[in-house]
Amino acid sequence: MMQNLKITGNLVNAYFVCPRKLWLYAHEISPDPEWEFLELGRLISEQSYKREKRELEIGEMKIDILQRRDGEVIVGEIKKSSKGLKPGKMQLLFYLYKLKQYGVEMKGELLIPKERKRIKVELDETLERELKNAIEEMQKIMKSDEPPEPKRTWWCSKCAYFEFCWS
């Protein structure tokens, strides 16, 4: 059984893509690091927004970017596509939630450089409640000795864990 139940932004993202992916990732079962879509995501993150502050680590958070605009500091999360935004949005909301716990209230933006999009994200009571419920469910999944059964979704064909589920 897993001992460390620390929730990270990447785990939140994985949960909203697929609970099985969360379990595999949380149990340190790594996908092929050279999977083309993982490499593409890293490349986009490295090549975008070079002038802004990059990757800030605070506890279980690994924030992609902080930007100062109109007197505000904005937490940015870089994604390669706007297709299926929910996991990225929830990951960003997790960062805003954790910062709020530290006494720092901020706004966020999902940044999609290939599409030149900035999507504003703000933590409100409803989203905070959804996030807290998800974190409880994530902990149950992570504590389990076995992963959830695979469920085929549109994410599967581009998932680095595809072979763990469908081979």
Strands 72-78 and 61-69, by their bridges, are: antiparallel
- pLDDT-derived band of residue 70, with 50, 70 and 90 as boundaries? confident
Reported as type and span, the H/E element at residue 136 is helix 125-143
Q: Which residue has the higher pLDDT, 4 or 156?
A: 156
Q: Which pTM value belongs to this model?
A: 0.85
Q: Which residue has the higher pLDDT, 94 or 114?
A: 94
Per-residue pLDDT averaged across 114-124, rounded? 94
- pLDDT-derived band of residue 71, with 50, 70 and 90 as boundaries? confident
What gap in Å lies between CA 46 and CA 113, rounded to an integer?
11
What gap in Å lies between CA 87 and CA 16, rounded to an integer?
5
Task: Specify the CATH number of the domain 9-166.
Answer: 3.90.320.10
Structure tokens at 27: 């149990």
Structure tokens at 96: 């805003």
Domain boundaries, the chain: 9-166
